[in-house]
Structure 1
């Protein structure tokens, strides 16, 4: 089950380095054994229990459970819950802004600081979680916390500037996109091919590259407006929204295959991280789209 997704391809279990149903390879597997009636390898009278501390017969690796749909749902709910809680905390703890005219430079600086710190922390941790071989629940939750800080500040800025239910509309639209994508994946029996995976991953890295280029240009006052609320920004916003839906389809595919293969329960955190990234991606693009259409 080789994966092209950087979130999953660091996992030995997702890449066929475990036997079917996630079982490890034990000593003696694949070796030739004596047939019926042949002399056993050793005399039973010479068998021993082993020295203290050694692994005896039947004392293999401890089974910590298998990944299930329920475990993925639980971990994803925890991850998204943390994003929402930290976003609400950021919204509440930053200066109150009733409208855009009431926005002072000091208030703006605090919100920009929250968005910048949260975005940089979330980006760094997303890279670590994507390429880390063994999934770390603590790092996944830390990513969610940073992501929540960034989304809380960003949402408050959009609410102050555009209002008219832009934030609530983006939240509702995100969960509607999740439900609609899941329904389409199941009812239409969508199959994820290797070419589809390569296209989506290439598009994701392309979008990340464009955003980094825009960030660097912005430092020199030469932004193109690729990720703003403008005509050109809408091109990347709609492309990003479609790409986010494709990312969710890949997430559903990996979860389905992981459950069927009986991966360790800990891998549920990897799936939860991937779906959180996809949903945040969809939310931010919906936020820009709704803001564009709410302008006078």
Structure 2
């Protein structure tokens, strides 16, 4: 089965045949061994000169434990980078904050956002997953999140409201746990139409966000990134879409484990999961900020 998800589509292993975990789909190969790798080592070979070869795999197959481990490492990197950015940038609530202080924070936000966006494209379309690039993405994403969170917290949080950042973090992990529980207990099946809709919606929202940034340079922003009614609708749509992205992530991980794809693909799954969680967190934080306004 070919995936419409750009993160997994570039992986040959995710589209390779394997077991039938759902009972309603059949995958080519039906769990057979990879070509060129029989049980007898004497039969192994590199093929004829000039002929295409099958990429060799090392280590065991991907498991739920390996996905959890790599996801924890990736998310941990995001959190550490975000915390470091929060601590090392000026305190916006302190008296005497200058424009230079604000400039350094917004510079961190811009550099982190642009760098994370560029690496997200590279990781999404790279055929062979690179753990180093995944972690580099996590560092840049953490820098952007740390700066963004600090700006929102300083601008909208009050003593009565408590920390909006803490609420957004708790809400993000609650959304993750709730989506996972619904996926397992309700035995959600991911069909081709659903995949196409979610991926199309993701690219649509990215296109609208980029258009908003460009229009903002000319003073004609539509308010998608603002804190008015348009920003509210855009954030709600983004939050729902983030949950749908998690469902796609769970589906692909389940298929990958059933198909016994190489363990290195756990990094690709971790990257996709991190993107979904960051997507949920940013939209949830913006929603909390909007609701906090008078």
TM-score (norm 2): 0.87
Residues 10, 130 of structure 1: 8 Å contact kept: yes
For residues 67-106 of structure 1, what are the alpha-carbon distances to aligned partners after superposition, in whole Å with 9 as ceiling and x for unaligned?
000000000000000000000000000001226x764322
Structure 1 residue 132 corresponds to structure 2 residue 126? yes
Greater Cα shift, 122-131 or 228-237:
228-237
**How many angstroms apart in 1 are the aligned matches of 2:201 and 2:185?**
26
Which of these residues, 56, 59, 73, is aligned with residue 64 of structure 1? 59
Paired residue for 1:25? 35
Residues 21, 263 of structure 1: 8 Å contact kept: no
**How many angstroms apart in 1 are the aligned matches of 2:65 and 2:269?**
12
Instruction: After TM superposition, give the deviation of residue 295 of structure 1 in Å.
Output: 1.2
Instruction: After TM superposition, give the deviation of residue 63 of structure 1 in Å.
Output: 4.0
For residues 142-201 of structure 1, what are the alpha-carbon distances to aligned partners after superposition, in whole Å with 9 as ceiling and x for unaligned?
000000000000000001001132111111100000000000000000000000000000
Paired residue for 2:23? none
State the SS of the aligned residue for 2:289: helix
**How many angstroms apart in 2 are the aligned matches of 1:186 and 1:22?**
27
Over the residues paired in the alignment, what is the CA RMSD in angstroms? Answer: 1.9
**How many angstroms apart in 1 are the aligned matches of 2:100 and 2:130?**
37
Query: How many residue pairs were aligned?
Result: 269
Instruction: After TM superposition, give the deviation of residue 110 of structure 1 in Å.
Output: 1.0
Paired residue for 1:266? 264
Instruction: After TM superposition, give the deviation of residue 20 of structure 1 in Å.
Output: 4.7
Structure 1 residue 76 corresponds to structure 2 residue 71? yes
Which of these residues, 275, 278, 281, is aligned with residue 277 of structure 1? 275
Residues 82, 145 of structure 2: 8 Å contact kept: yes
Q: 1:167 to 1:56 in 2, by over 3 A?
A: closer
Paired residue for 1:98? 93
State the SS of the aligned residue for 1:15: coil
**How many angstroms apart in 2 are the aligned matches of 1:72 and 1:103?**
43
Paired residue for 1:159? 153
Structure with larger Rg: 1
Q: 1:102 to 1:254 in 2, by over 3 A?
A: farther
Paired residue for 1:172? 170
Instruction: After TM superposition, give the deviation of residue 273 of structure 1 in Å.
Output: 0.2
**How many angstroms apart in 2 are the aligned matches of 1:65 and 1:152?**
36
Residues 179-218 of structure 1 correspond to what in structure 2 (within 5 A)? Answer: 179-218=177-216
Paired residue for 2:108? 114
Paired residue for 2:13? 13
TM-score (norm 1): 0.87
Q: Tell me, which stretches of 5 or more residues in structure 2 are unaligned?
A: 19-28, 46-55
